[in-house]
């Protein structure tokens, strides 16, 4: 991450600290977020994993998935474990921490991602302190995918633990920040900005999901300084981040000038930022110049 981006974000975040805003705040949902907010409230977060139908068979299936000496063996184990559902998760998470083979780990996480969801966030969060970094990283990223303020304390503790380690793992640091943000805390914003600048293509979707939980004036204040950078990539990063975190009252006027930019990448980033802030819509990808100009003109009439 370049020093200018680091300095800009640090200054903005220090300002939030000084005003007491650098902490979780109960952000009021926008009117067009009401449906999503209702859906979140309707999610029943489980307090215990379901019991497996046959513990011995579960052990056999997990072992077969790990070994997968043949493609058929791996496929059959996968099908059996998916059929078992969330009851298989504890055994699979335990196996993930023990497994050394990369392909086997991928087979395990493939199943885990099919049998776990929003209702399991509190249960998965219990593994944030697991001794295996592979388990910690998977659990943090998985929980981050389903915003849940109920795991905020655990997520922030995980982030602080990684930050205090002598040699923090870059990926664990990132997913801990991702999870803390998804849970509604602002302390990981700088880490997300670093990843957004370096790898928006692969990480942008999950960062956008996490940022929706902190959308408001505080998060906006942290990212707005990037728009005034002399560097194009930092401006794009700022627009991408504001798409998820921006608050309309303070950010729209700052984004609007980019609709007239001759750089189509900046123009598209501005369109996507406004789509996120005003309409709560996902970004459009690879807009041709002519189409981007038309959309930009439409947005200039709206905002």
Render pLDDT for 183-197 as a digit per residue (tens, 0 to 9).
Answer: 999 999 999 999 999
Give dist(CA 295, CA 279) in Å, integer: 14
126/160 same-domain check: no
How many structural domains does the chain have?
2
Residue 12 confidence class, pLDDT cut points 50, 70, 90? low
What CATH number is attached to the domain comprising 264? 1.25.10
How many other C-beta atoms are found inside a 10 Å radius of the C-beta of residue 76?
15
Let me know: does 119 contact 48? Beta carbons within 8 Å.
no
Residue 29 has pLDDT above 50, yes or no: no
Residue 224 confidence class, pLDDT cut points 50, 70, 90? very high
**What is the distance in angstroms between the CA of the first residue and the CA of the last residue of the chain?**
33
Domain that holds residue 60: 55-143
Q: What is the mean pLDDT of residues 129-153?
A: 98
pLDDT digits (tens, 9 = 90+) for 71-98: 999 999 999 999 999 999 999 999 999 9
124/156 same-domain check: no
Residue 264 has pLDDT above 70, yes or no: yes
Q: What is the mean pLDDT of residues 257-277?
A: 97
20/105 same-domain check: no
Let me know: does 255 contact 274? Beta carbons within 8 Å.
yes
Q: What is the mean pLDDT of residues 199-224?
A: 97
| Residue 62 included in any domain | yes
117/22 same-domain check: no
| Residue 11 included in any domain | yes
Alpha helices in the chain (DSSP H): 3-18, 34-42, 55-67, 71-84, 89-98, 102-115, 121-125, 133-144, 152-164, 170-182, 189-211, 217-223, 232-245, 248-255, 264-274, 289-302
| Per-position b or e across 33-62, b if 16+ CB within 10 A of its CB | eeeeeeeeeeeeeeeebeebeeeeebeebb
Last residue of a domain, one of 143, 163, 188: 143
State the virtual CA torsion across 139, 143, 144, 150 in degrees, nearest 10: -130
Give dist(CA 137, CA 127) in Å, integer: 10
Last residue of a domain, one of 95, 127, 143: 143
Residue (of 244, 258, 265) closest to 303 by Cα position: 258
Let me know: does 277 contact 240? Beta carbons within 8 Å.
no
Per-residue confidence (pLDDT) for residue 262, from 0 to 100: 95
Per-residue confidence (pLDDT) for residue 286, from 0 to 100: 84
How many other C-beta atoms are found inside a 10 Å radius of the C-beta of residue 183?
26
Residue 176, CA distances (Å) to 89, 172, 267 in order: 21, 6, 32
Give dist(CA 159, CA 152) in Å, integer: 11
| Residue 107 included in any domain | yes
**Whole-number average pLDDT of the chain:** 90
Per-residue confidence (pLDDT) for residue 7, from 0 to 100: 56
| Residue 49 included in any domain | no
| Residue 98 included in any domain | yes
Per-residue confidence (pLDDT) for residue 22, from 0 to 100: 37
Per-residue confidence (pLDDT) for residue 6, from 0 to 100: 56
252/135 same-domain check: no
Residue (of 69, 46, 50) closest to 58 by Cα position: 50
272/164 same-domain check: yes
197/276 same-domain check: yes
Per-residue confidence (pLDDT) for residue 42, from 0 to 100: 82
Q: What is the mean pLDDT of residues 271-286?
A: 95
Per-residue confidence (pLDDT) for residue 24, from 0 to 100: 34
Q: 145 in helix, strand or coil?
A: coil
Residue 294 has pLDDT above 60, yes or no: yes
| Residue 50 included in any domain | no
Percent of the chain with pLDDT over 90: 85
């Amino acid at each position: 991450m370049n020093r200018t981006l680091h300095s800009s974000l640090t200054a903005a975040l220090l300002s939030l600290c000084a005003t007491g805003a650098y902490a979780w705040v109960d952000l009021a949902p926008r009117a067009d977020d009401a449906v999503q907010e209702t859906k979140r409230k309707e999610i029943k977060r489980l307090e215990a994993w379901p019991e497996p139908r046959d513990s011995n068979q579960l052990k056999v299936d997990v072992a077969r998935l790990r070994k997968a000496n043949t493609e058929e063996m791996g496929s059959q184990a996968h099908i059996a474990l998916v059929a078992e559902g969330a009851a298989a998760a504890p055994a699979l998470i335990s196996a993930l921490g023990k497994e050394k083979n990369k392909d086997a780990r991928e087979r395990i996480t493939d199943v885990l991602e099919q049998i776990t969801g929003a209702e399991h966030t509190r249960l998965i969060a219990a593994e944030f302190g697991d001794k295996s970094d592979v388990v910690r990283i998977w659990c943090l990223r998985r929980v981050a995918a389903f915003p849940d303020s109920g795991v905020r304390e655990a997520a922030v503790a995980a982030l602080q633990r990684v930050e205090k380690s002598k040699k923090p793992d870059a990926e664990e640091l990132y997913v801990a920040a991702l999870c803390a943000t998804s849970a509604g805390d602002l302390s990981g914003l700088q880490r997300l900005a670093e990843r957004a600048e370096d790898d928006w293509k692969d990480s942008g979707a999950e960062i956008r999901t996490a940022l929706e939980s902190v959308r408001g004036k505080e998060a906006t204040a942290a990212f707005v300084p990037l728009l005034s950078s002399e560097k194009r990539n930092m401006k794009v990063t700022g627009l991408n981040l504001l798409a998820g975190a921006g608050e309309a009252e303070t950010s729209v006027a700052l984004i609007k000038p980019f609709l007239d930019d001759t750089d189509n990448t900046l123009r598209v980033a501005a369109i996507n930022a406004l789509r996120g802030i005003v309409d709560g819509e996902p970004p459009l990808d690879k807009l041709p110049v002519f189409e981007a100009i038309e959309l930009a003109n439409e947005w200039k009439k709206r905002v």
